Structure 1
Amino acid sequence: MNLLSRLPSWIGHHVAAVRVVLVLTVLLGLVYPLGMTALAHLPGLREQAQGSELAGHGSKLIGQSFLDDKGDPIRSYFQPRPSNAGDGYDASASAAGNLGPESTVDVLPLKGRPDSGKQSLLTQVCARSKAVGELEHVDGARPYCASDGVGAVLGVFRDGGTTGRATRVVSLNQACPARPFLSSYEGVTVECAEPGTDYGKAVVTPVRGDAPAHPKVPADAVTASGSGLDPQISPAYARLQTPRVARERGTSEQAVRALVEKYTSGRGLGVLGEPAVNVVELNAALDHIHPMTTKGA
């Protein structure tokens, strides 16, 4: 007779439970992890399993900033798109900006308290476009952006509340004593905005301006990815940066364009997504083929 059959039933249940725990521990704690590790080292999977390390440049799957000690772009490198992950491309703080198309009005900083302000998504885009335009020596203008790099947004007070004749107009994103991007609107002189003043009763009115429908500065140069970690930029943004990088490295634009083409990936399965250029791999290749004696800005 089996020993378990002579024991109380509750002891038998506990013994069976212990057996299950031991079996699952071996299968899921040893066999499965070791099997996955072995699978990850098969040809074609080894690189991804080890983080796609790029010697001296981190991982080719995670973007990084190419800035100097002052936070300015290093001119001899291709620049990535903006990042909202921590201070920029922080793999431990992957995040998006969580601002949408309705984010057009800034919180202007109070006098003596620069940290009290907060830029809208529109002003962030406008400021980035202006900065990229200056870096690449192209027109950084884009719709709904003022020439000083803030969102071109008016607060229009009307005698009927939301309708009727305009009685007062304020440039909401331009703090006094700034000169408003428009001198007048609907016959009313446009005022600069006083930080801390409540303009909540004004009708928020973005002004498109005369910027081209297709700006010189591509969209990915002024907007962050959802993760804040993507290492890719569009071919258009890479083309925009090519003359600067070639000039700074003392080589031809043709040579740099050849490298851009080499590190450009196509659409997934031929139809998904858009072609993209891996900036981390591209800059690593530049350092190898066209090295700089000093990495100045």
Structure 2
Amino acid sequence: MERLPNTLRRHLAAVRAVAVFTLILGGFYPLLVTGIAQVVLPHRAGGSIVRADGREVGSSLIGQLFTDRYGRPARGYFQSRPSTAGYDPLASGASNLGPQDVVDRLPDPHGTGEAARKGRVSLLTQVCARSKAVGEVEGVSGARPYCTADGVGAVLKVFPAVGTPARVVSVNQACPAAPFVATYRGVQVECGRPGEDYSSGRTVPVRGKARAVVPPDAVTASGSGLDPHISVAYAELQASRVAGERRMDVHRVRELIGEHTTGRALGFLGEPAVNVLELNLALDRER
């Protein structure tokens, strides 16, 4: 029999290797691991699905919204932390905005392109707006350092960038809003004007005297956007509102918070946390 050329034999060997490893790593190994998981951790391997009244209502591993028919936060339920992924496992991820992202791009109805017309909200203003909204829902102060009273980042642009200030703009407060401070180093502060380029100015975040009452996890999204837990502090902040809406004793609501609080992983990692879905289901069972 005539031997195959070396080049062809090498290609056939590569094809056989791909086929073998595809069978092992793409078929046998996943089936083996899935089978072991189904035996050892059947609930988690199945997605940690939570059921109530005979139907699936979510997963204990994935956060979700609790809203009324108008899309507003349901007052009788505890609310999850924000999510940039919309709690969608297929869109899991963070916003990729960091602590230096403090300047908004104001919406410009006369701008060129959709991005200019819609503008862009900085991470700082997102946090300020969320804190203000949570404060209004819970009946507490939503004020935070580096936030204005109207819920945007307290940030100035100073011109020139170096030297004695000649012009100062509160860049996140669109005209005709009154700037959060009247003057800066003797210069009157202006409101921001959509479409103006402030990039050449020096960025000056201004720390106010407000003490934050709303916990950090109420205003920041998790890295995955799927976190099903909130801090004990955020749960306690919501307890009075939930108890009042359900006409329950607030002490009983706090007891349920304690019953659905998990400790630190391995006893020392992270902080105690409350599973929102499981807590809300426990509230429904109290009826």
State TM-score, norm by structure 2.
Answer: 0.87
Q: 2:75 maps to which residue?
A: 75
After superposition, where does 1:40-119 map in structure 2 within 5 Å?
40-43=37-40, 45-55=41-51, 56-85=56-85, 88-111=86-109, 115-119=117-121
Q: How many residues align?
A: 275
CA shift digits 1:204-246 (9 cap, x unpaired): 111111212xx11000000000000010110000000000011
Q: 1:137 maps to which residue?
A: 139
Contact persistence 2:145–2:207 (CA under 8 A): yes
Q: Distance in 2 between matches of 1:274 and 1:163?
A: 46
Identity of aligned residues (%): 57
State TM-score, norm by structure 1.
Answer: 0.84
Give 1:27 shift: 5.3
Give 1:201 shift: 2.4
2:250 to 249, 253, 268: 253
Q: Secondary structure at the match of 2:240?
A: helix
Counterpart of 1:171, as a letter, is S
- Report whether the alignment pairs 1:279 with 2:270: no
CA shift digits 1:162-209 (9 cap, x unpaired): 122x21111110011111111111121111111001122221111111
Contact persistence 1:75–1:248 (CA under 8 A): yes
Q: Secondary structure at the match of 1:54?
A: strand
After superposition, where does 1:1-297 map in structure 2 within 5 Å?
31-43=28-40, 45-55=41-51, 56-85=56-85, 88-111=86-109, 115-158=117-160, 161-164=161-164, 166-212=165-211, 215-290=212-287
Q: Distance in 1 between matches of 2:214 and 2:209?
A: 15
Contact persistence 1:145–1:152 (CA under 8 A): yes
Cα distance 1:27–1:258, how it changes in 2: closer, same or farther (>3 A)? same
Q: Secondary structure at the match of 1:71?
A: coil
Contact persistence 1:151–1:173 (CA under 8 A): yes
Contact persistence 1:218–1:236 (CA under 8 A): yes
Q: Distance in 1 between matches of 2:68 and 2:62?
A: 19
Counterpart of 2:68, as a letter, is D
Counterpart of 2:256, as a letter, is L
Give 1:143 shift: 0.3
Cα distance 1:187–1:61, how it changes in 2: closer, same or farther (>3 A)? same
Counterpart of 1:76, as a letter, is G
- Give the unaligned 5+ runs of structure 1: 1-6, 291-297
Contact persistence 1:60–1:280 (CA under 8 A): yes
Cα distance 1:108–1:17, how it changes in 2: closer, same or farther (>3 A)? closer
Q: Distance in 2 between matches of 1:181 and 1:171?
A: 8
Q: Distance in 1 between matches of 2:14 and 2:119?
A: 60
Counterpart of 1:49, as a letter, is A
Counterpart of 2:219, as a letter, is V
Give 1:71 shift: 3.0
Cα distance 1:251–1:205, how it changes in 2: closer, same or farther (>3 A)? same
Q: Secondary structure at the match of 1:270?
A: coil
Contact persistence 1:57–1:284 (CA under 8 A): no
Cα distance 1:203–1:29, how it changes in 2: closer, same or farther (>3 A)? closer
Give 1:90 shift: 1.2
Cα distance 1:152–1:22, how it changes in 2: closer, same or farther (>3 A)? closer
Counterpart of 1:202, as a letter, is G
Cα distance 1:182–1:26, how it changes in 2: closer, same or farther (>3 A)? closer
Counterpart of 2:154, as a letter, is A
